[in-house]
Amino acid sequence: MEETYSFLKVNTQVNYLSTIDEDKPSCRPFGDPILFDNKIYVITNKNKNVSKQIAKNNKVCIVAYDDENWIRINCKLIDDSNNIEAKKAVINEFDWAEEAGYTLDNPDFQVLYISEADSTIYDEDGKVLKNYKF
């Protein structure tokens, strides 16, 4: 899990999260994850389409590229928005979080963690370099 987190947090600035929107795929950029309580968390707003799509089907794919290698993470995202400590960790990690509306009193502030992950790092030719399940 640590290498997956490092790839997303250190190696890349943006990763792409894909969901299912009714009967078609939907993909959008996501920013930095955080590591909290031995889990990789991502954040969003419950009013966004991505949140609604995850609520219907929490199986997602996350992809990122670091100019040399790329990663694909097939996983589930588990809504942990009742976890105040996880939300505090997000606010402490990002100086922009509160200004962007990610506050403890905002009911739309959503934190989700990666679960049942199959994380594979590939080289540019598509050769598997490493695979992790967590």
Its domain, for residue 106, covers 2-124
Distance CA 59, CA 57 (A): 6
pTM: 0.96
Q: pLDDT (tens digit, 9 = 90+) per residue, 36-60?
A: 999 999 999 999 999 999 999 999 9
Q: Considering the domain boundaries, does residue 10 fall inside one?
A: yes
Tokens of 31: 């920013």
**Rounded Cα distance, 34 and 122, in Å:** 22
Considering the domain boundaries, does residue 129 fall inside one?
no
- Count of domains forming the chain: 1
Task: Quote the tokens at residue 1.
Answer: 């899990």
Whether the pLDDT of residue 32 is over 90: the answer is no
8 secondary structure, DSSP code: I
Q: CATH number, domain at 73? A: 2.30.110.10
